[in-house]
Amino acid sequence: MIKILNSLFVTIFGLGKLPKVPGTFGSLATVIILYACFHSFDLSSNIILLGLIIIFILSFVTVSIHIKDNKNKDPKEIIIDEFIGQSIPIYLYEISHETEKSSNEALIFYGICFVLFRFFDIVKPFPVSYFDKNFKNSFGVIMDDVIAGFYVVLTLICFMVLSSFFFI
């Protein structure tokens, strides 16, 4: 029973077992889940943060269990790392625009975050590639996506700073 629950967690309820692009579907599920949490259910950002922290901590244990007897230490079905990485820019956007955003504005931003995260997760610029290649354990599986999530944040900040110079 524990093994089944563990598998459901790391594959986001089996979504990671889809035959094609499971990471993309994991990122898309994250966008939908967080949009619902922030905009449909109107949950407190503190409650959402607590949930994300719990998922982050649990992921290290559950991914370790999932890959323990597996030759491939970063199997495609593990997509909880995509959930974590994709959550970073979306959560930071939501708390930085707490009262000033519309649902349509959020949808556009979520879409941009989704595309940028998938780009950085697939291309794996340094140090994303460093974690992916050098840590063949749960730490490496999770941290490469965390870094990709922060690359999205950095890209958006750079865009905002540059656009303030050119469009004011």
**How do residues 116-139 score in pLDDT, each as one tens digit?**
999 999 999 999 999 989 998 999
Q: How much of the chain, in percent, has pLDDT values that exceed 90?
A: 79
Give residue 106's identity as a one-letter amino acid code.
Answer: A
Q: 153 vs 58, 96, 106, CA distance in Å?
A: 24, 12, 15
Other Cβ atoms less than 10 A from the Cβ of 129: the count is: 13
pLDDT in tens, 1-37: 888 999 999 999 999 999 999 999 999 999 999 999 9
pLDDT digits (tens, 9 = 90+) for 58-104: 999 999 999 988 887 788 999 999 999 999 999 999 998 776 667 78
Q: What are the structural domain ranges in the chain?
A: 2-166
